[in-house]
A and B are shown apart, each in its own frame.
Chain A
Amino acid sequence: MKPTASKTKTTAVPGPESLRRLGRAVSMRRLGSGLVGALFCFLLMGGHSGAVDLTAELTAGYDSNPALTDPSEGSGFSVYGLRAGQPLGLTDDLSLDLSVEGKYQDYWSVGDNYRVQADGAITYSLAEGKFLPALMGEVAAYRDALIEADERNEAMVGVRADWIMSSRLTLGFEQTCRWLSYLNWAMPFSGKGQGRQDAKGGKGGKRSSPVFRPEKGWEPSPWRPDSAEKGNSPLHTLYPPRDNRLLATALNLDIFILSSLTGRVYGAYGDLDASLDMESYREIQAGAALSWAPAPEWLVGVEAAWFRTDYHRVPESITRVRQYNDIWSAGIQVSRFWGGFEFFGQAGWRSGDAPLDYESYTQTVIQCGLSYSF
């Protein structure tokens, strides 16, 4: 890995803020390394038990827009991921699935992020196994040195039911409630893909880029320091860490088309109740995915999705905030398997609006990696 200091070159003269960020980056790396190490130890111990499903993954690639902003600042990255899963058959009809998972994303020229989570699901089999209701739970921690406003802890409870309608079709339903407890003070709409660029003055979002130069004819964003709206505007006020609740309902249909071709169509509705009222939203999502296995060792996956978000509680007095946002995403992945090893190459593309009249973004991610399950 490169020295941590190489990632903290956003200011030419080290000041208290840059020193604070440097210290934070170092501690993030230590914490991330510690978590990965702890997970790895768990995996090794679990490996001896013979019943735990273990997966380790190493990926490298390039992300054209890690912060989902415009203009963008791309970066190469590597990802280190570990997962341990433990399926337990309690009775013939009752099963328990437990898993822990950690992923550290090391961006080479911007801030890193990591996520650690633990999941559990208890499933009961009805109608001779054709109807499978489940209770689910999850706790997670997400840390991000690039978008500090996104750092949070999460807890989720939910129910899921899969109905095997026929040999070709399975219908899935899911209802979840997720608590999102953020850690940092932040200005409104400071999350990833929100378009805010004025990081100074607190944890207002993405770190400001020293290379940003407005093009001729470019109109100033309301987030800019020279914006006429800066001052007492609610958009330029730091608010306490958010305490949000997300209710989500999802339906999916899995389709077994050919022996080599399977697919899924899905739709979802989400309702975020944010402690900062204007950040609340309702969102609908639709998507489709196909998996094609032309040979036993090969797998090709494609997916496309669309999201529409309605920030329905933005005050009318705040102008230049776009209330309806659309996001399109698509991706393709090609995998080759050798026993427990999977080598994969993947390309993804995303285009979206931020909740501003001025900001929209595109992102392209190219990556390849190796995954090992044992």
Chain B
Amino acid sequence: MRTFLLLLIGVLLNGWVLDASGEDLFLGRVLSVDRDAGKLSVLLIEEVSDGMEGEENEGKPVEVAIHPDRLPKALSTGSMVRIWGDLREGESVLNAARLYATGSGAGGKDATGVRRRIGKGRGQYGGKGGGKGHGRN
């Protein structure tokens, strides 16, 4: 168990060296959303390309195209989003493979219930529950 936990932490802290997807990671703020078309207008704040931080597109509004089914529910004007995608030089459309709203993705809101089911509600203090039972539950 201890080995498993340490292995998980090791993967988390070193995982980005394995990045071979070719997709870049963008951080931006939503200016407008068209859910039916799967299109957003986003003001880019930060960009990580090939593992290096870049400034080429920072401060630019870009149009983001994504499959409508992959749009998070909790998304509105002003939301911060992380976008994995491809923005080619000279193009204004960012083709997104995945998009995470603030507080989701890495488990912030446990959108799929993975942690809740695995922990059976025991959970960490930084989430639901905690201190169950006279000692625990």
**In the bound complex, do residue B8 and residue A302 qualify as a contact, i.e. CB atoms below 8 Å apart?**
yes
- Give the secondary structure class of A's interface: strand
**In the bound complex, do residue A272 and residue B103 qualify as a contact, i.e. CB atoms below 8 Å apart?**
no
> What CA separation (Å) do A348 and B17 show in the bound complex?
30
Does B37 reach chain A (CB closer than 8 Å)?
no
**In the bound complex, do residue A252 and residue B126 qualify as a contact, i.e. CB atoms below 8 Å apart?**
yes
**In the bound complex, do residue B78 and residue A296 qualify as a contact, i.e. CB atoms below 8 Å apart?**
no
**In the bound complex, do residue B73 and residue A256 qualify as a contact, i.e. CB atoms below 8 Å apart?**
no
Q: Could you count the A-B residue pairs with CB atoms below 8 Å apart for me: how many are there?
A: 263
**In the bound complex, do residue B12 and residue A176 qualify as a contact, i.e. CB atoms below 8 Å apart?**
no
Interface residues of A in 40-68 (CB under 8 A from B): 53, 57, 59
Residues of B within 8 A of A285 (CB): 124-125
Does A191 reach chain B (CB closer than 8 Å)?
yes
Residues of A within 8 A of B38 (CB): none
**In the bound complex, do residue B125 and residue A263 qualify as a contact, i.e. CB atoms below 8 Å apart?**
no
> What CA separation (Å) do A303 and B124 show in the bound complex?
12
- Most chain-A CB neighbours within 10 Å: which of B74, B98, B113, B135? B135
Interface string of A120-154 (1 = CB under 8 A from B): 00000100111010000000001000010110000
Known pairs A129-B78, A167-B47, A174-B125; A186 contacts B4 (CB<8 A): no
Residues of B within 8 A of A255 (CB): 12-13, 15, 106
Interface size band for B = 35 or more
**In the bound complex, do residue A256 and residue B105 qualify as a contact, i.e. CB atoms below 8 Å apart?**
yes
Shortest beta-carbon distance, A274 to chain B, in Å? 7
Interface string of A244-273 (1 = CB under 8 A from B): 101011111011111111111110111010
> What CA separation (Å) do A168 and B13 show in the bound complex?
11
Closest residue of chain A to B108 (Cβ to Cβ) is: A254
> What CA separation (Å) do A178 and B73 show in the bound complex?
29
Residues of B within 8 A of A166 (CB): 27, 46, 48
> What CA separation (Å) do A125 and B29 show in the bound complex?
12
Does A331 reach chain B (CB closer than 8 Å)?
yes
**In the bound complex, do residue A333 and residue B117 qualify as a contact, i.e. CB atoms below 8 Å apart?**
yes
Interface residues of B in 53-70 (CB under 8 A from A): 67, 69-70
**In the bound complex, do residue B131 and residue A268 qualify as a contact, i.e. CB atoms below 8 Å apart?**
no
Closest residue of chain B to A261 (Cβ to Cβ) is: B15
Does B88 reach chain A (CB closer than 8 Å)?
no
For the complex of A and B, 3 pairs with smallest distance between CB atoms:
A191-B133, A250-B126, A331-B118
Supply 14 further A-B pairs (C-beta < 8 A) apart from A248-B130, A299-B112, A301-B112. Answer: A162-B108, A167-B46, A191-B132, A193-B135, A262-B107, A263-B106, A265-B12, A269-B125, A274-B134, A279-B135, A296-B70, A331-B118, A339-B69, A348-B118
Q: List 27 A-B contacts (CB under 8 A).
A: A142-B137, A168-B48, A170-B102, A172-B126, A188-B134, A189-B135, A190-B134, A191-B134, A194-B133, A254-B107, A257-B15, A259-B21, A259-B97, A263-B106, A276-B134, A287-B124, A288-B5, A290-B8, A290-B12, A291-B106, A301-B118, A304-B1, A305-B119, A328-B5, A331-B117, A331-B118, A348-B117
